[in-house]
Amino acid sequence: MSRVELSPHERAQVEVARETLAAIVGARLTDASAAAYMVGRLEVSLRSLLEILDADQEPARRCPAAHPEDPAPCGGPVVVTIIDTQNAGADGCELHAIRMLASITSARPVAKPDAPAGVALRIFRAAQHTRPFPWREGRS
């Protein structure tokens, strides 16, 4: 297999993935909190690596938080998981996380490990000022 030339940003993403893999080897996965954290780190690293590989492919699908009827494209990378009262979750970009949070009762955003500081609070606040299912009213 031939080597691919990577940009400095892509090389950094590969290094983070290597560090994450090394960290999970020594992690205590019997601790549910530590296991959940490591799964989140692995998910983010894997997504980053797949983005590098798929850069010349067709655009990625929308985030899991995007409602099937919502025509709006994702508003950036996946940064939070929206957790409902049953502790089920859906990962989302800021836009779709805000819309999901506004459209369901008693849910909360939980930032991904590599998300910008304060993103969960920003999404929570924005959802308070967003009508449920805004695409149904023509406000996409």
Q: How confident is the model at residue 1 (pLDDT cuts 50, 70, 90)?
A: very low
pLDDT tens per residue, range 9-60 = 777 778 877 887 777 777 667 777 777 777 777 777 777 777 777 665 555 4
Average pLDDT (48-76) is: 77
Distance of CA 67 to the CA centre of its chain: 15
Whether pLDDT at 61 is above 80: no
Distance CA 61, CA 64 (A): 9
Q: Is the pTM for the entire model greater than 0.75? A: no
Average pLDDT (58-73) is: 80
Q: Report the percent of the chain where pLDDT is more than 70.
A: 87
Residue 83's nearest CA partner among 100, 99, 66 is 100
